[in-house]
């Protein structure tokens, strides 16, 4: 690479990079070698897909073990999936980013669908429906709406 007169701040940054950055990530002048950061090999994983069958198994797991028992559901019904992935999928099924109020409870598919509908209605009413789930805001709108429904 050809050295070009540049800003003293850029020259300082290049010198600092030479002290702390792997040499193959830099050009001789200390500027970044962008090719170093490009992926060497791109992999497409297509063997794991989430479809209707997996949804049904997750509904079965929630009915059998309850919300929060992701490890048990993985072990028994969805062994190709990680507990964290099941938590995210369950969040979508229930229509709520936070599953804390559901933890430990068992729900049938019909009950999950009812909770989803309730959460969506609250989310639309309060403006807290984001990307298909109910998300609490800083004003406590969701908590107030849930409290009104209870009582």
- The model's pLDDT over 99-114, given as tens digits with 9 standing for 90+, comes to 999 999 999 999 999 9
Average pLDDT over residues 108-132: 92
- Tokens describing residue 127: 């403006």
CB-hemisphere CA count at 13 Å for 151? 3
pLDDT given for residue 2 in this prediction: 45
Confidence of residue 11 (pLDDT cuts 50, 70, 90): confident
Tell me which of 43 and 97 has the higher pLDDT.
Answer: 97
Asked if 16 and 25 touch (Cβ cutoff 8 Å), the reply is: no
> What are the extents of the domains in the chain?
1-43, 52-150
Taking CA atoms, 131 is separated from 68, 91, 96, 97, 135, in Å, by 21, 11, 10, 10, 9
Which residue reads 């050009």 in tokens?
27
pLDDT given for residue 133 in this prediction: 92
C-alpha 44/C-alpha 41 separation (Å) is 10
Which residue reads 């969701």 in tokens?
142
C-alpha 68/C-alpha 124 separation (Å) is 26
Which residue reads 């059998």 in tokens?
64
Predicted TM-score (pTM) of this structure: 0.66
pLDDT given for residue 1 in this prediction: 45
Cβ partners under 8 Å of residue 101, min gap 6? 146
The predicted-structure confidence for 39-84, as pLDDT tens digits, reads as follows 777 666 655 678 899 999 999 999 999 999 999 999 999 998 999 9
Confidence of residue 85 (pLDDT cuts 50, 70, 90): very high
């Amino acid at each position: 690479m050809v050295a070009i007169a540049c800003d003293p701040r850029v020259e300082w940054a290049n010198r600092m990079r030479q002290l702390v950055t792997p040499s193959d990530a830099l050009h001789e002048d200390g500027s970044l070698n962008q090719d170093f950061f490009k992926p060497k090999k791109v992999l497409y994983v297509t063997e794991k897909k989430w479809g209707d069958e997996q949804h049904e198994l997750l509904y079965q797991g929630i009915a059998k073990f309850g919300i929060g028992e992701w490890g048990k559901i993985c072990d028994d019904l969805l062994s190709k999936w990680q507990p964290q992935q099941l938590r995210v999928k369950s969040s979508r099924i229930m229509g709520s980013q936070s599953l804390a109020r559901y933890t430990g409870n068992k729900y049938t598919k019909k009950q999950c669908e009812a909770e989803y509908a309730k959460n969506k209605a609250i989310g639309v009413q309060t403006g807290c429906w984001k990307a298909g789930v109910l998300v609490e805001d800083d004003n406590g709108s969701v908590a107030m709406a849930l409290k009104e429904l209870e009582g």
